[in-house]
Chains A and B, each alone.
Chain A
Amino acid sequence: MKKLRFLFLIIMALSVALVSCEDDDDKETCDSEDLGDDFNCPVNVDAIATFCSDGENASYYTFNGNDYMCTGVDVSTCDNALNQIGAALIEAGCGSKKKSVDIEDVKVELTALAERLLAEVRTESLYN
């Protein structure tokens, strides 16, 4: 009986210790991929997408500042996300069906913040 109690105590202690030591921090990792070849992009088009996964929740791609969600953890569940990124790339001149466009045509709407920061970069980046 004493041995049983002793064993029970040891198991309890180990369980408590292990649970308290479990790494509960952010486990997400990201990898950048160049999709330029896959989508037959001209060399002047930025085709870098970043795949992020925490191994538990649905993974996702980030591309050009947007998130594209996968349906599961594995990259094989990201077909829809990749299709959306592909559509954005084709719009930027990738793919065989559309002719390449100059990167200058791929413009962004500048926000007021960007305008302000650009002005500050212009005036405050050099010491002279």
Chain B
Amino acid sequence: MKIFNFNKVYYLVILALIVAVVFVLNENDLFNKQQVNKVEIYEDLLDIVYGSPDAGLTVFFYSSYNCSFCREFFKNVFPELKRNFIDNGKLKFVVKPITLTNNEAVINSLKIAVCINKHGNFEKLNELLLTEPNVIYTNEFANVIDELVEEDMYLEECMYGGESENYLFRNLAMFKSLGLTGTPSFIINNKIYKGYMEYDKFKKVIEKELKYILH
């Protein structure tokens, strides 16, 4: 009685080899359609930062409240990202707000956002701007900015002393120098990832980049 069929074993070995090769190619992104240019990017003092400074990996996120996919990312992807990667110290998430417009209301909304992030509690304002982005065009919003600025001299200095305005200019200059044209855009491990990603896709990218750092 023949115990081993040599041909079958041979085929199985070949098959396993092929699957292994394809798996390795995929892991190394040779099949990945979305990619990437190598770039240099730095954290700025007014960036909106989530996570530990000691995190192994940093994600830079160019975002605008005008951009519906940025808001979508903050509402649907960021909470899971925070729970699974940021809160446990694996990931630092750096938001770089930008605007491509000279609209005073838009610029003021970003200035107050970065200033409140530095000198106060950003979460409520962030929630408002994500939920009702058009609120920035109302007198009511302008009044709130005035009241907050009146109450806090550091906020006032940040808002009207040039700090936040210069920061937005720097952000836009960096954004353009990277060759970016739209939001949302992510820079991870000095690689550019353009466009919105669902959580599962984003998770894969983060896990791949974390693995890359560890090796």
On A, residues with C-beta under 8 Å from B are 2, 6, 9-10, 13-14, 17-18, 21-23, 25-34, 36, 43-48, 50-52, 62, 64-65, 67, 103-104, 106-108, 110-111, 113-114, 117-118, 120-122, 124-128
Contact between B121 and A103, CB atoms less than 8 A apart: no
With a cutoff of 8 Å between Cβ atoms, the chain A residues found around residue B7 in the complex are 2
Q: Is B120 interfacial (CB-CB < 8 Å)? A: yes
Known interface pairs A32-B67, A118-B144; A110-B132 also in contact (CB < 8 Å): yes
With a cutoff of 8 Å between Cβ atoms, the chain B residues found around residue A118 in the complex are 128, 135, 140-141, 144
Give Cα A57–Cα B198 distance, bound, in whole angstroms.
Answer: 17
With a cutoff of 8 Å between Cβ atoms, the chain B residues found around residue A121 in the complex are 124-125, 128, 144, 148
Contact between B67 and A30, CB atoms less than 8 A apart: yes
Give Cα A62–Cα B69 distance, bound, in whole angstroms.
Answer: 9
Give Cα A114–Cα B141 distance, bound, in whole angstroms.
Answer: 10
Q: Is B58 interfacial (CB-CB < 8 Å)? A: no
Contact between B138 and A32, CB atoms less than 8 A apart: no
Q: 17 A-B pairs, CB-CB below 8 angstroms?
A: A9-B14, A10-B14, A14-B22, A17-B19, A21-B22, A25-B204, A44-B103, A47-B101, A50-B69, A50-B183, A62-B69, A107-B139, A113-B131, A118-B135, A121-B148, A126-B119, A127-B121
Report which of B25, B67, B124, B134 forms a contact with A108, defined as CB distance below 8 A: B134
Q: Is B151 interfacial (CB-CB < 8 Å)? A: yes
Contact between B68 and A23, CB atoms less than 8 A apart: no
Q: Is B137 interfacial (CB-CB < 8 Å)? A: yes
Main secondary structure of the interface of A (DSSP, over half): mixed
Contact with A along B6-21 (1 / 0, CB 8 A): 0100010011001100
**Distance in Å: Cβ of A74 to nearest Cβ of chain B:** 17
Report which of B14, B121, B124, B134 forms a contact with A65, defined as CB distance below 8 A: B134
Measured CB to CB, the nearest residue on chain A to B134 is A108
With a cutoff of 8 Å between Cβ atoms, the chain B residues found around residue A26 in the complex are 196-198, 201
With a cutoff of 8 Å between Cβ atoms, the chain A residues found around residue B33 in the complex are 23, 27
Measured CB to CB, the nearest residue on chain A to B14 is A10
B13-67 residues with Cβ-Cβ distance < 8 A to A are 14-15, 18-19, 22-23, 25-26, 31-34, 64, 66-67
Contact with A along B179-203 (1 / 0, CB 8 A): 0011110000000001111101100
Contact between A127 and B128, CB atoms less than 8 A apart: no
Give Cα A67–Cα B72 distance, bound, in whole angstroms.
Answer: 13
Contact between A124 and B121, CB atoms less than 8 A apart: yes
Give Cα A45–Cα B141 distance, bound, in whole angstroms.
Answer: 17
Give Cα A36–Cα B184 distance, bound, in whole angstroms.
Answer: 20
**Distance in Å: Cβ of B101 to nearest Cβ of chain A:** 5
Contact between A10 and B124, CB atoms less than 8 A apart: no
**Distance in Å: Cβ of A93 to nearest Cβ of chain B:** 11
**Distance in Å: Cβ of A100 to nearest Cβ of chain B:** 13
